[in-house]
Structure 1
Amino acid sequence: MLEKYSVRTDLALEEKERFESDNVEISGVVLEEEYDKEREIRITRVKVETENGAKTMGKPVGVYLTMEAPNMAVPDEDYHREVSVKLSGYIQELIEGRSLDTDDLSVLVVGLGNRQVTPDALGPYVADNLCVTRHIVKEYGKYAMGMEHARLVSAIVPGVMGQTGMETLEIVKGVVEETKPDLVIAIDALAARNTRRLNRTIQIADTGIHPGSGVGNHRNGLTKESVGVPVIGIGVPTVVDAATIANDTMENLIDALESSDILKGVGDVLRTYNSAEKYELVKELISPHLNGMFVTPKDEDELVKQISYTISEALNMLFTNKEEG
């Protein structure tokens, strides 16, 4: 049953949690956690070290770093600045892990998604707020930026296939071949397994990114193998599927049944189902009408703008030493 069990999530952390909840140990996968108590930020590193671990997790070999900050959904500029500073440091950590020289680095930032669809507009919004410098350095030299080391930052918003008729990979690969960056950073909206992670979690991975995978719309991935240069993926979960919400409701129902003297037996029976069986039961109950439905918070438009600014500010800090006032 477990092999067929596939909860819709793009977060490596949630894949690891799924196996832990079923008491399944994954060899070749290491989990490291740290917690910033003052800022209430939890950082989790999932390191997929072997091909066996990659196959089990359904994620390529690499490092997946997840920042969870419950207050990220609150419009507090000071707090978001602190998140940006931390995020900037973690992106640099992954860049250095790829043995790239961060002093004179050429970076192409790819804002994936469709700006006409609010939950999918994260990537384009990040690109809008970036401080791009490639054209200035190319025209006037690095000293025009007022710094000893000039990092060339360029950005592109390739749109989606429905708008362009082209695969995102085709567009990005053509730009990479022409502009020859050292690194691609791709930003995209993700799907989560847990509703409490929506717009409160940022995942950074040194394995690239697969546009559209969160909503089951599988497109060719942006990876080092496909693009030709290292790719770091940055994603924020903005949607959950209907089965996930129904599954969470079922868990609450089981808890309620177990506390009832009359219906305790029903709760006990449902509790014998493992996570995979519960999820499959929920999918059967809600199909076919709600099976392909994805849900997003009602204030998603504001949340996406807010968190996109947090990410773009982190990139501006890292690559141009510039903080937006």
Structure 2
Amino acid sequence: MQENDAVEAVNTGLQGGFDIRTDLALEQRESFEGDGGEISGVKLKEWHHQKSQVKLTEVKILNDQGARAMGKPKGTYLTLEADRLSKADDEYHSEISEELAHQIRKLMSEMINWKEEDLPSVLVVGLGNRSVTPDSLGPRVLGNLQVTRHLDGQYGETFLKDRKLPAISGIAPGVMAQTGMETAEILKGIISETHPDLIIAIDALAARSVRRLGTTIQLTDTGIHPGSGVGNHRHSLTRESLGVPVLAIGVPTVVGAAAIVHDTVSALIRVLADNDKTKGTGSWIEDMDSDQQYQLIRELLEPEFGPLYVTPPDIDQSVKQLSFTISEGIHQAVFP
């Protein structure tokens, strides 16, 4: 998230509607399940890995109709869900890194016709503000990254090629309040000088569900739209805007307070409906659709608290672990 989005959203407020409540395509897709689940122009595929207990969900937005329904660009959105990611288990995080590497390679092969024997030039971009823990995932991944692009300059122009190593470079551009520049502006200058084949952008995301905080990793070939999950619309980082394919990796670290209350109210209504003495209580809320319920809760909450965003109490440890998991996944994906 750019510009310390979660904090900025609370301080400045959100104007107008709240069309995008999550950065996760999976959650956007789930919001249609009450309408039969089928969305024209959207293809869904799910599978489980028994060993690692990882659930993978691929959402493909195939055309403009699907993009309008989902509120997201056309492309592939792959989500890895693993509840044990929140635990300090190095062996398990290593398994997730392997799975992440496999999925990164899969997307790379589609985006730049990459083959395992190829030695791509990759620019890894760590988005966010390192000083704000929920927003520090990107810079922390960069801190763990093994860069190699400079080795040709130090040891000869064919150093990487002779050793069959990819040219990996990295940048943590900070946020606009620190630099006075949009991230897209900074990256355009870097791209014009370094000419990478691919950009891998890492960012913290906003989720719709508390259970996905720190336990979900999303990959997409559509690039990234910094801050969109908390209503902060910045210049997009995409193939169209930068001239280079952008593979985005994100982990949700915040959830809107209104979403938490919405889930709580929904659970309360179900409990009341199951009891003969309280049946019918709150039926006027139950008769609303999900979006109407959510809008009502926002209207009640935000005058008192602002558009508040919540993060888990162990977010520091979670972000630290995930930064290693993601950096290792990138290493395994691009190094032969």
* Category of TM-score, reference length = shorter chain: over 0.9
Q: Work out whether residues 257 and 307 of structure 2, in 8 Å CA contact, stay in contact via their aligned partners in 1.
A: yes
Q: State the Cα deviation string for residues 26-71 of structure 1 (Å, max 9, x = none).
A: 2110000001122210000000010111111111111000000000
Give the superposition deviation at 1:144: 4.6
Shift of 1:100: 3.1
Identity of aligned residues (%): 52
5+ long unaligned stretches in structure 1: none
Q: Deviations over 1:162-213 (max 9, x none)?
A: 0000001000111011110000010000000011000000000000001122
Aligned residue type for 2:75: G
**2:84 paired residue among 57, 71, 92:** 71
CA RMSD of aligned residues (A): 1.7
Aligned partner of 1:27: which letter?
S
Pick the aligned partner of 1:179 from 180, 194, 197.
194
**Matched residue, 2:150:** 135
C-alpha contact (below 8 Å) 2:20/2:231 kept by paired residues: no
Larger mean Cα displacement after TM superposition, 22-31 or 202-211:
22-31
Matched letter for residue 210 of structure 1: H
Structure-2 separation of matches of 1:141 and 1:272: 70
Say whether 1:254 aligns with 2:254.
no
Asked if the contact 1:54/1:60 (under 8 Å) is kept, the reply is yes
2:62 maps to 1:28: no
Cα distance in 1 between the residues matched to 2:18 and 2:176: 29
1:222-241 aligned at under 5 Å gives the runs 222-241=237-256
Which letter maps to 1:218?
H
Equivalences, count: 318
TM-score for both structures, normalised by structure 2: 0.90
SS of match in other structure, 1:256: helix
**Structure 1 residue 77, shift from structure 2 partner:** 0.2
**What is the match of residue 96 of structure 1?**
109
Matching residue's letter, 1:316: H
Query: Taking CA–CA contacts closer than 8 Å with sequence separation of 6 or more, which of the two structures ends up with the larger relative contact order?
Result: 2
Contact 1:21 1:275 in 2 (8 A): no
* Comparing 220-229 and 262-271, the one that deviates more: 262-271
Partner AA of 2:86 in structure 1:
A
CA distance in 2, matches of 1:143, 1:80: 35
* 1:273, distance to aligned residue in structure 2 (A): 2.0
Of the three residues 132, 144, 154, the one matched with 1:117 is: 132
Q: Contact 2:78 / 2:218 at 8 angstroms: preserved in 1?
A: yes
Matches within 5 A, 1:1-325: 6=19, 8-23=21-36, 25-102=38-115, 103-141=118-156, 144=159, 148-321=163-336
CA contact (8 A) 2:122 2:200 kept: yes
2:249 is paired with a residue whose SS is strand
CA contact (8 A) 1:22 1:275 kept: no
What is the alpha-carbon distance in structure 2 between the residues aligned to residue 248 and residue 298 of structure 1? 20
Opposite residue 29 of structure 2, the aligned amino acid is: K
In the TM superposition, residue 99 of structure 1 has moved relative to its aligned partner by 3.4
Is the contact made by 1:107 and 1:183 (CA closer than 8 Å) also made in structure 2?
yes
Relative to structure 1, the CA distance from residue 141 to residue 33 in structure 2 (aligned partners, 3 Å threshold; closer, same or farther) is farther
- TM-score between the two structures when normalised by the length of structure 1: 0.93
For residues 26 and 183 of structure 1, do their structure 2 counterparts lie closer, same or farther at Cα, with a shift above 3 Å needed?
same
Listed as ranges, the gaps of 5+ residues in structure 2 are 1-16
